[in-house]
Amino acid sequence: MAFPVIGMVGGGQLARMTHEAGIPLGIRFRLLSDTPQDSAAQVVNDVVVGDYRDLDTLRAFARGCDVITFDHEHVPTEHLRALEAEGVKVRPGPDALVHAQDKGVMRARLTEIGVPCPRHRIVADPADVARFAAEGAAGEGDAPGGDGWPVVLKTVRGGYDGKGVWVVRSAAEAAEPFRAGVPVLAEEKVDFVRELAANVVRSPHGQAVAYPVVESVQVDGVCDTVIAPAPDLPGELSGQAQRLALTVARELDVTGHLAVELFQTRDGRILVNELAMRPHNSGHWTQDGAVTSQFANHLRAVLDLPLGDPRPRAPWTVMVNVLGGDYPDMYQGYPHCMARDPQLKIHMYGKDVKPGRKVGHVNTYGDDLADVRERAAHAAAYLRGTITE
């Protein structure tokens, strides 16, 4: 029997968990990984070690694959267009993926299709940042007025987990982002009450499913906790967020999983913060908390199979990331965590433990949100070694 071969570019934990979701379906994986030690390279049989920034490497990797998809958004757009021109199925395609690669392109396109975003524009230098702040002080667009500061600056490409992002309070603080020599996007600093994420999956023939909108709790720019569904979110806003994400997926012609990260503002609006066109940290809860996980539905989408049910299995599911600390032997924490909570699900990525590095996550679920949150937080902290009882 001939089962399809999926070529996954990138060897991180997202590739590892996507591969896991494909095993029951008999789907074969080919992995383009930076090193043999990468998270997914430890578990995938067919691994090519190479540079995803090299077109010839990508061409050689694509031979024998039925479709190419991604663990990250960093493959050069022009290389993906070259592969498509040569008949390679790339999902999501480069014309969609560029909106997750380039924040300037994303903001321009979302504004064009009427998706609500923070006030923004590309800025040339620190003096231009000061002019942008002054425009905010004048109350242009959705800006709150005041003196227009602080301003959020982002390099248009390459940032993640708080990297490539600066919050500046004067032109004097605005010099650093321009040193990289890439375009810089300025945005108003949104007055928000919390961050949300709307996760959807879309197939090439246009079928789409939407997961419950979740709350994403960030610590130092890194996702710490995800609560599904977002507590106390009015039904009107939840539906608006799901419709918005489905609209973005359709208008940008996304194939696969799309995470739309959102701000819920103090005045009751939702604004788009970022896009990710791959499985995403805000969707890890679906491994144990949804009928069909984000990873399984991403595979179904890139293969143009019918999509699976996105509904939750329990009233509440909470995911907490396990970050590396000063306690490297996390396996020694398993007996305590498993005995304390037999329903706990632990997902480790096979990474060396380094302070602040995402090395795994835990999922808990149940009927009582306070109990579910406590169980997840306790397990993650115990594995990290920040608590010992």
* Sequential DSSP letters for 241-269: HHHHHHHHHHHTT--EEEEEEEEEETTS-
Residue 188 assigned as binding residue: yes
Asked whether residue 274 is marked as a ligand-binding residue, the answer is: yes
> Is 187 assigned a ligand-binding role in the annotation?
yes
The torsion of the CA quartet 95, 98, 100, 103, rounded to 10 degrees, works out to -130
CB crowding 219-239: b at 16 or more within 10 Å, else e: eeebbbbbbbbbeebeeebbe
| DSSP characters over 291-328 | SS-HHHHHHHHHTTPPPPP--BSSSEEEEEEEE--S--
Containing H/E element for 271?
strand 270-276
Q: Cβ distance 164 to 102 under 8 Å? A: no
How far is Cα 48 from Cα 62, in angstroms, rounded to an integer? 11
Rounded Cα distance between 335 and 365, Å, is 19
189 is in an annotated binding site: yes
Residue 93 burial (CB count, 10 A): 21
Residue 351, annotated ligand binder? no
Query: Amino acid letter at 217?
Result: V
Task: Determine the distance from the C-alpha atom of residue 227 to the mean position of all C-alpha atoms in its chain, rounded to a whole number.
Answer: 15
- 190 is an annotated ligand-binding site residue: yes
CA distances from 100 to 48, 71, 94, 157, 361 (A): 25, 13, 10, 9, 24
Strand partners, 346: 362
Q: What angle do CA 161, 98, 356 make, to 5 degrees?
A: 10
Confirm if 303 and 25 have CB atoms less than 8 A apart.
no
Residues making up the annotated binding site are: 103, 154, 187-190, 195, 273-274
Residues making up the annotated binding site for ATP are: 103, 154, 187-190, 195, 273-274
